[in-house]
Amino acid sequence: MWTCWWLWPLVAVCTADQFLDQAKRIMQTTPVIDGHNDLPWQLLLRFNNELRQKNANLNTLTGTHTNIPKLRAGFVGGQFWSAYTPCDTQNKDAVKRTLEQIDVIHRMCQMYPETFQCVTTSQGIREAFRAGKVASLIGVEGGHSIDSSLGVLRALYQLGMRYLTLTHSCNTPWADNWLVDTGDHDAQHSGLSDDFGKSVVREMNRLGVIIDLAHVSVATMKAALNQSQAPVIFSHSSAFALCKHWRNVPDDVLQLVKRTGSLVMVNFYNDYVACKREANLSQVADHLDHIKKVAGAGAVGFGGDFD
Ligand SMILES: *[C@@H]1O[C@H](CO)[C@@H](O)[C@H](O)[C@H]1NC(C)=O
Ligand SMILES: *[C@@H]1O[C@H](CO)[C@@H](O)[C@H](O)[C@H]1NC(C)=O
Ligand SMILES: [Zn+2]
């Protein structure tokens, strides 16, 4: 009796170590890329983007999910940093505020060149990874950041934006957000507007800015998946079948993800993983498994949504 008691815990421990070693080996040879991290937003809230403040040192930063030692411990090979400005800046200073968040990301790369390398291409990701740096990319979170201007869209591309989330938690004049599906907001466009919404998708395809469908309504997901010539991403969304939160991706949309070679980068936020205030890693793994089951292994990614 007592041998079993000892044996089974030992077996469990050995297996866990073996998987950890394997995971580390994979992460050292293939860059793990995370789709969404809001550290730049924390830098604004806590330090007014003043990176030289003593407490803003990213090597010793506390009180955030993210700092340099944690990125290293997690073998993060590539990170999309979020350039986010809240919906209440829509039609006000959204463009300026977005530029300021892009600026703080560039300054992170300049201040910590031994850790971050700002890149804009897949080739750049590979080079940064080979040099032992965290390849740093910019995602702009919310279509309100372009202020209904293709000129602003193109200028943000020049500044390094490589994905744009079509909405945050507000409708834009050309796309509906997820709060339409909860009934909190009125649908305005049955997804994407016929004129400007479709032009935005076309221009993003032409430039090479990834279309991000985290935060959009289901109708917008379907319209964008239909319109886009290129695969799209959900930079930080999980599976609706496992947690019926409208920030997640329903199964019929996962079918379209599969058909278009698109990618769902699973969110680690408790409310979206477990529909409660507490979640654990095995529940995150359940989301990865579900997306793999419905849309295939190629559709599975990470979009931790830390900070
Ligand atoms: C978009 O929708 C139209 C009409 O339903 C359909 O014929 C077309 O195949 C769809 N395109 C894609 C890429 O899904
Ligand atoms: C994670 O949470 C679920 C649901 O509460 C539970 O069934 C499961 O045992 C937990 N897993 C771990 C590893 O703690
Ligand atoms: Zn978000």
Question: Largest alpha-carbon pair distance within the chain?
Answer: 73
Which of 242, 268, 282 is the pocket-test mutation for ligand 2 (most atoms within 8 Å of CB)? 282
- Locate 199 and state its tokens: 């032009």
pLDDT per position as a tens digit, 117-140: 999 999 999 999 999 999 999 999
- Locate 155 and state its tokens: 């200028």
Q: Nearest C-alpha to atom 5 of ligand 2 is from which residue?
A: 279
In this prediction, residue 72 carries a pLDDT of: 98
Q: How confident is the model at residue 288 (pLDDT cuts 50, 70, 90)?
A: very high
pLDDT per position as a tens digit, 5-41: 445 555 555 566 889 999 999 999 999 999 999 999 9
pLDDT per position as a tens digit, 245-276: 999 999 999 999 999 999 999 999 999 999 99
Distance, in Å, from the CA atom of 156 to the CA atom of 160, rounded to the nearest integer, reads: 7
Which of 280, 286, 287 is the pocket-test mutation for ligand 2 (most atoms within 8 Å of CB)? 280
What lies within 8 Å, CB to CB, of 254 at 6+ separation is: 239, 264, 291, 294, 295, 299
At the topology level of CATH, where does 32-40+71-302 sit? TIM Barrel (3.20.20)
| Residue of 198, 215, 296, 240 whose CA lies nearest to 35 | 215
